[in-house]
Amino acid sequence: MHYDERGFASAADGTKLFYGLRGTGPALVLLDGIGCDGWAWVHLQPHLALHHRVLHCHYRGHGRSGAPVDPTAADMTTLQDDVARVMAAANINRAVIITHSMGSQVALELYRHHPELVRALVLVCGSYGRITHTFHGNDILSRVLPTLIANTRKYGALARALWGRLPPALSYRVAGWLREIDGATLRPEDFRLYVEHLSDIELDLYLTMLQHAGDHSAEDLLPQIRVPTLVIAAERDTFTPRDVVKNLADQIPGAVHRELLGASHAAPSEQPEVIDQYIDEFLAKLT
């Protein structure tokens, strides 16, 4: 991703957190899904930065940010505190928070702890929590995840060697066969970038964050949200099913709900122009 400015903030435990800034105008903050450091924003950020000051940060252990001082400290409360500290370092006092996937959970916790920092919310293909209980519409992932984590730690060297070794081209074909992505609109180079980002982080950290995201829920907070909110779902999203996203929107007072026909969880790369349109319309109505 292109940045006009770059910098680092310090987390509460001393972990170094990378951030980049682009554009001028009212502030927007972009929050990734787990395992990503900008993949979802490659096509959206340039458009958003035409009229806004766009801040994008890398989660601890992701991208250019440092490995977490405490590897187990990767829960939603910790991540939202990281975001608040990055915003302070970038001199952003209030912003529209735009998220993809797990970033929605981080944004909701940011609103819980620092509502003064949040001007509005744009939640794309995200949930309020318990994501391992709704993946593919069932709770199988939540039940197998503890065993995956235990085996990863038991066979650490082997797990690290295998992590991310599947060639991106083959991964792309498999994902298409399984209908996890829209092979007609998602460019192979975008999927390759996603695989590269994912393979760059430690497997143990990835699984730990996934478990935290699966245990977390901000459902109690939703009726208390008092900022404009746009919720965007994808029709064929198997990671965050459309019904889960619709339920999220229904519980936030006054939330606007949109659905991307034919799109998967990779919607920011599959249908960026439509998402740009939805976000532009939403931002134009903010006072």
CB 22 within 8 A of CB 193: no
Cβ neighbours for 278, distance < 8 A, ≥ 6 positions apart: 230, 232, 258
Which pLDDT value is given to residue 208? 87
Q: In this structure, what token pair is assigned to residue 210? A: 């996934």
Q: What is the pLDDT of residue 48?
A: 97
For residue 201, what pLDDT is reported?
Answer: 73
Overall average pLDDT of the 171-180 stretch:
39
| Cβ-Cβ contacts under 8 Å for 186 (sequence gap 6 or more) | 264, 266, 269, 270
Helices (H), the chain: 45-48, 76-89, 103-113, 140-154, 156-162, 168-177, 188-200, 203-215, 242-251, 267-270, 272-284
Which domains, ranges and CATH numbers included, belong to the chain? Answer: 5-284 (3.40.50.1820)
Residue 37 has pLDDT above 60, yes or no: yes
* pLDDT given at position 77: 97
State the pLDDT at residue 151: 52
Q: Looking at the DSSP assignment, which residues form a beta bridge with residue 64?
A: none
Is it the case that residue 90 has pLDDT exceeding 50?
yes
Of the listed ranges 54-58, 78-82, 185-189, the least confidently predicted one is: 185-189
Cα–Cα distance measured from residue 206 to residue 214, given in angstroms and rounded to the nearest whole number = 12
Mean pLDDT calculated for residue range 38-60: 96
3-class secondary structure, 258:
strand
Burial of 117 (0-12, 13-18, 19+ CB in 10 A): buried
